[in-house]
Amino acid sequence: MNYLEIINKCLSELSFKQVSDFSELVKPEHQRIKNYINIIAQEVCSSENWNFLLKEESLTLPAQCSEITNTINGKIIAVYIENAEYKFCEDFKRLLLKKEKAKVFSIFNDKLLFPEFEKEQTVKIIYYTRNWALSSDNKEKSKLEEATDISIIPQQYIEPILVYGTSMRIKGDPQYIKYNFWQSMYNSAIAAMRSEITVDANYSPALKLFRK
């Protein structure tokens, strides 16, 4: 289900007229629906360590260099160099002053800091992404924007979470005839996701969220 299809589902649930083209979404209620879909997607994706958020990326650390630009848009949970795990160090000054030799890394502004190596190194990073959407050509995005964009939330949960969740927010009245149904379906979907596709309950990453 793409962004336009999600919006049309919301319009149907709320008894509004559906649209045939994304350019028709010009009314205030259209904008509210679009905003709430992204708000709910962000709230849900950032609420748990969902497996579908896990990503891996490799960066190059040049020889005799102790810092590289942090291009990771997400929460880092593991860093490896030459198959050895590097732990996060809060005291970035130890690495910034190039006096650290232990297997640690840190963050300073928009840079990742490491000990210096004589040879170029490949840094493998595993993280939970903050890009919660995909374009039609499979490029990661921070939110749904175009008609053909899709959410990275598993498709079987899109309708109960994004459609019914948005409908609840828009209507905002527990006395509304559909409200209890929406709420029940939304809560059931969140519970199902939590039991089926979260990272193992015994796993608790300790590294901190990077902010640029």
Q: What is the sign, positive or negative, of the torsion defined by CA atoms of 76, 80, 85, 89?
A: negative
Q: Quick one: tokens of 119?
A: 């040879």
pLDDT at 187: 96
3 vs 19: CA distance, rounded Å: 12
| Average pLDDT for runs of 10 along the chain of length 212 | 98 96 96 98 94 95 92 94 90 69 85 91 96 96 97 96 97 93 96 83 42 36
**This prediction's pTM:** 0.84
